[in-house]
Copies of this chain bind each other. A is one copy, B any other.
């Protein structure tokens, strides 16, 4: 039976990298015997907003609910639509309403990608950030008191549920168990945020008991950020709350020079709802229309999608590995888009990677 994929280009370079993502998906699907059925969607874009005054049709949830995954380009066009409307009207809605409670972002140092850290070798940095993606610090609970006066005070609550916390811890420990090093680092700030974070540490300790084969420790977010810069080779699986995961999953790619190459998977592991796969980069209005955007983040996201669809086993895992290997080869040998010092187009890169995936 075919997997159903909703394809949403969104805005800007989202529209340029999606075709290359699909090109590589097709090559991988063909080679590994995976059936994919696409549904192309124009909404969840600022163009759609310009025409209709909303980011998505009212029945967006019905339209997407039968899908296995959403293959998403990028959303946002700040010149015409403020980010809080475009993002909260699409991406954040998907995460919340489709209970995509795991956000996964691999961090790797590749040959051919200039690294901002001194003296680091490809292969030396290879970890993954697991972010809680639906609750915690991103609650909508709170408000302003004594508004407009001297006494004005704003309150925003962080709300962590046991169910929401345990499931992300469980995911991180399961993931670590599958990896070679089998190590989990839990981001915390229990020495400063004195109610929620000690509780969070307690949930981690409780979950860890079930994984005696996995080594774990907790590190305060301030020191953890410092260590991403100073000792990035030390990490395997890093798990954090919504806010801490957000910070770490931008800082990690920054440390490997791959912020423009990083993929992101927002997943509902139970598959009750579609999961979403997208590049971390945005719609990049400044380079849109020139066919020079680097499509690797989109293509890497395709690999994560196939891995997820195949339960990290069999054809899905093989397709993932083949795509990542092709990305490695192209980064090391070219062609290169202008962001990495080359003159190749978005299309050139998509074709080169698809050819490697098809033939290898």
Contacts from A to B (Cβ < 8 Å):
83-84, 87-88, 114-119, 137-138, 140-144, 149-163, 189-197, 199-200, 221-223, 225-227, 229-230, 242-243, 246-247, 249-251, 253-255, 259
B259 touches A247 (CB 8 A): no
Interface contact B116-A115, CB-CB below 8 Å = no
Contact A150 B138, beta carbon cutoff 8 Å = no
Contacts A156-B193, A156-B194, A156-B197 known; list 18 others, CB within 8 Å.
A84-B191, A87-B191, A116-B117, A116-B118, A117-B117, A143-B195, A149-B162, A153-B160, A154-B160, A154-B196, A154-B200, A155-B159, A156-B157, A222-B251, A225-B247, A225-B251, A229-B254, A230-B259
Contact partner of A193 (CB less than 8 A), chosen from B149, B243, B255, is: B243
In the bound complex, CA of A80 to CA of B34 (Å): 59
Is B155's CB under 8 angstroms from A157's CB? yes
- Interface class of chain A by DSSP: mixed
A94 to chain B, nearest CB (A): 15
Q: Which residues of B contact A197 (CB under 8 A)?
A: 156
Contacts A87-B191, A118-B118, A163-B150 hold; do A230 and B254 have CB atoms under 8 A apart? yes
Question: Which residues of B lie under 8 Å from residue A191 when comparing CB positions?
Answer: 83-84, 87
Could you say which of A154, A162, A243, A249 has the most chain B C-beta atoms within 10 Å of its C-beta?
A154
Partner of A153, one of B115, B162, B189: B162
The residue from B88, B194, B199 contacting A140, defined by CB atoms under 8 A apart: B194
The answer for the CA separation of A226 and B143 in the assembled complex, in Å, is: 30
In the complex with contacts A143-B195, A222-B250, A229-B229, A158-B159 CB distance below 8 A: no
| Nearest B residue to A114, CB-CB | B118
Listed A/B pairs (11) with beta-carbon separation below 8 Å: A83-B191, A117-B229, A140-B195, A150-B163, A154-B160, A156-B194, A156-B195, A222-B247, A226-B254, A229-B254, A247-B247
A146 (CB) vs chain B CBs: closest residue: B162
Would you give the shortest CB distance from A226 to chain B, in whole angstroms?
Answer: 4
Q: How many subunits of this chain does the assembly comprise? A: 2
Q: Are A243 and B152 in contact (CB under 8 A)?
A: no
Chain B residue contacts of A88, Cβ below 8 A: 194
Give the contacting residue for A196; candidates B83, B155, B222; CB below 8 A.
B155
- Chain B residues with CB below 8 A from A189, complex form: 243, 246
Residues of B within 8 A of A200 (CB): 154
Asked if A250 and B223 make an inter-chain contact with CB atoms under 8 angstroms apart, the answer reads yes
Given the known A-B contacts A191-B84, A192-B246, A222-B251, are A152 and B142 also in contact in the complex, defined by CB atoms under 8 Å?
no
